[in-house]
Amino acid sequence: MSATTTGVAMSSQSRPAALRRRIPKYSDLAPLMQFKTPEFNREQRLARVSTVWELRELAKRRTPKAPFDYTDGAAEDEITLRRARDAFKNIEFRPGILRNVSSINLSTEVLGATSKLPFGIAPTGFTRMMQSEGEYAGSQAAEAAGIPYTLSTMGTASIEDVAEAAPNGRNWFQLYLWTDRERSLELIERAAKAGNDTLMVTVDTAVAGARLRDVRNGMTIPPSLTLKTVVDASYRPAWWFNFLTHEPLSFASLNRYSGTVADLINSMFDPTLTFEDLDWLRETWKGKLVVKGIQTVEDARKVVAHGADAVVISNHGGRQLDRAPIPFHLLPQVKAAFEADGSNAQIILDTGIMSGADIVAALAQGADFTLIGRAYLYGLMAGGRAGVDRTIKILESDIRRTMALLGVSNINELTPDHVHLLDAK
């Protein structure tokens, strides 16, 4: 035997037992051959989802194109929506180390009461068109999570029905001031009688934005059964079965409507609205008053001067004016202005939020609270009430993990020092 052969043999024998090749035994292979049972029910599908983006993909597969695009789309070239989401991406978190984060408290005070999580559900229109459980799923999920739920004037469930569905929830009502002030007053009175403690008036819809996906899809209320929608329905039979076998769409503010979304908005909303109308609202509404659609520091200050208890920095999810200001970028300026004025008005932020890390960044930059719109609707379209629950759970888990990694155990400990804007202008 040559020296080389002997050396190889000795080298092989000197190897650790775990590194010597052998024929595998069945007992070794058996644990690796446990094939996963196919998952067909909704709960199993949702349990596999770990991000809002994954909920969006599931929602897209289960929802016809027109209602999905109504939720997913924005105005014109959708530049504003992309910029709003990119704003949250283009940050750098700055964590603290060696902090005790064994217990994380996510509760916060908003408009005079405690929310168990630092976000609530934003007002969304035509919600039962996205999925038949609509506002009932949203309000009940919010009630269970201990967070506010906001019903839209254009919601597809009445103020009274939402109050009955979630009697122990914190229900808010979002108002579009109509040209017909008597109808607006009727809605305000109904909201108060139903136990809503907060009125959120939206002020960025003098006219409808150019939502081109809706135009291309021929989006109407209710959806029209054209040849195109019938073909689309063949791929989403569960959605159409639910839609056709439940009560036809009805609204919080009107009984029935047939026409395009833009036509409905333009026929209802008041292009003559001014700051003096806020004075009328402040005198009329005895609860908390929030103004949604703030896009400049000057307007934030003005609405507070006219009686608002809080502002929602929002560009309507990019659905009105394209190339509008980005709420996340505007947030520090509004915060600084309120501090300079000695104002106690709270700052709420929406638009672009797709993760709990986004929410943490907003809170660190000065927001007192946040709202989710599309993120909630993606969950709704993906799985009804269970999908909304999953959205809330995903965001809660994201927030808890992000805060722990930042070395923060309480919402109030978040400061601008925790976030660096990489391309702030």
- Residues with catalytic annotation? 316
The dihedral built from the CA positions of residue 192, 193, 197 and 202, taken in this order, carries a sign that is negative
End-to-end CA gap in the chain: 77
- Per-position b or e across 116-152, b if 16+ CB within 10 A of its CB: ebbbbbbbbbbbbbbbbbbbbbbbbbbbebebbbbbb
Q: Are 375 and 354 in contact (CB under 8 A)?
A: yes
178: CB partners within 8 A, 6+ apart? 184, 268, 269, 270
DSSP line for 238-266: HHHHHHHHSPPP--SS-S---EEHHHHHH
Instruction: Collapse the DSSP code of 192 into the 3-class scheme (helix H, G, I; strand E, B; otherwise coil) and give the result.
Output: helix
Quote the distance between the C-alpha of residue 137 and its chain's center.
14
Q: From CA 414, how far away is CA 90, in angstroms rounded? A: 18
Separation between Cα atoms, residue 21 and residue 30, nearest integer Å: 19
State the helix-helix crossing angle for 297-305 and 327-341, rounded to 10 degrees: 50
Which tokens belong to 400?
């808890």
Could you tell me how far CA 231 lies from the centroid of its own chain? 30
Q: Is 354 exposed, middle or buried (0-12, 13-18, 19+ CB in 10 A)?
A: buried
Spatial CA neighbour of 411 closest among 117, 144, 122, 170: 117
Outline where 14-121 has alpha helix (H): 26-29, 42-48, 52-62, 65-72, 79-89
| DSSP 8-state symbol, 234 | T
